[in-house]
Amino acid sequence: MQVDDMDLPVFDLSTIAKATSNFTIKNKIGEGGFGSVYRAFSKLRTRIDQIQERSKIVCKIQHRNLVKLLGCCLEGEEKMLVYEYMLNGSLDSFIFDEQRSGSLDWSKHFNIICGIAKGLLFLHQDSRLRIIHKDLKASNVLLDSELNPKISEFGTARIFGVDQQEGNTKRIVGTYGYMAPEYATDGLFSVKSDVFSFGVLLLEIILGKRSREYYNQNHNESHRPCK
């Protein structure tokens, strides 16, 4: 595969190294299933064909609630995608942090929820490609300087055909707790899978708790002995 096939601007490794102070740990802001995330770009541990598929998806979708891919770098063993910088980081760093969550009033909560829903609807219905994200969760939603949400991390996403209603895979990847039961157990995924994940995320935003926290709380309460 040629880099030109991805129709992306190409950045030199030296340029990216300079922008990240030679990949210093202080510029590392996260770790995903496909690699490390630094300020402005994602350093991948994956094959070239997977990068091509991921880039194909992100390049062909443009929406205010989806993170924008700016370019790539493929030099030797280094494989990187360069994204727009989201000043406020990931949603989970806000809603699960007692101090930062205090800066989110209910109007901002509502704006974030609506923005995620609009981005997801675009992927499923309004984009040139019908895309199933397959790993929607709080850490994969980024916030810009005005706390507008943008869905990111399309490493597990799949493109559906016009009339395709469901997909099936033996390689189940994603995050348990956000996975729809039919995907977690049988590898079946569809628009409904993303809607299930959105429902879990919605509860997390409203309650300010990770899904496993309120699941364990409810589970324990349901097993308390009656007096």
Secondary structure of the chain: what % helix, strand, coil (to 5)?
A: 40, 20, 40
Q: List the end-to-end C-alpha distance of the chain, in Å, as a whole number.
A: 68
User: What six digits make up the tokens of 199?
Assistant: 């429902």
- 49 a catalytic residue: no
Residues 6+ apart with CB under 8 A from 131: 57, 61, 123, 124, 154, 157, 158, 159, 160
E strand intervals along 115-209: 130-132, 141-143, 149-151, 158-160, 167-168, 188-189
* DSSP type of residue 66: B
User: What six digits make up the tokens of 131?
Assistant: 């895309």
Instruction: Quote the CA–CA distance of 215 and 219 in Å, as a whole number.
Output: 6
Q: Specify whether the CB–CB gap between 79 and 48 falls below 8 A.
A: yes
Q: Specify whether the CB–CB gap between 91 and 149 falls below 8 A.
A: yes
Catalytic choice (49, 92, 135, 144): 135
Is 60 annotated to bind a ligand? Reply is yes
Residue numbers belonging to the annotated binding site: 60
Residue numbers belonging to the annotated binding site for ATP: 60
Q: Which residues are catalytic?
A: 135
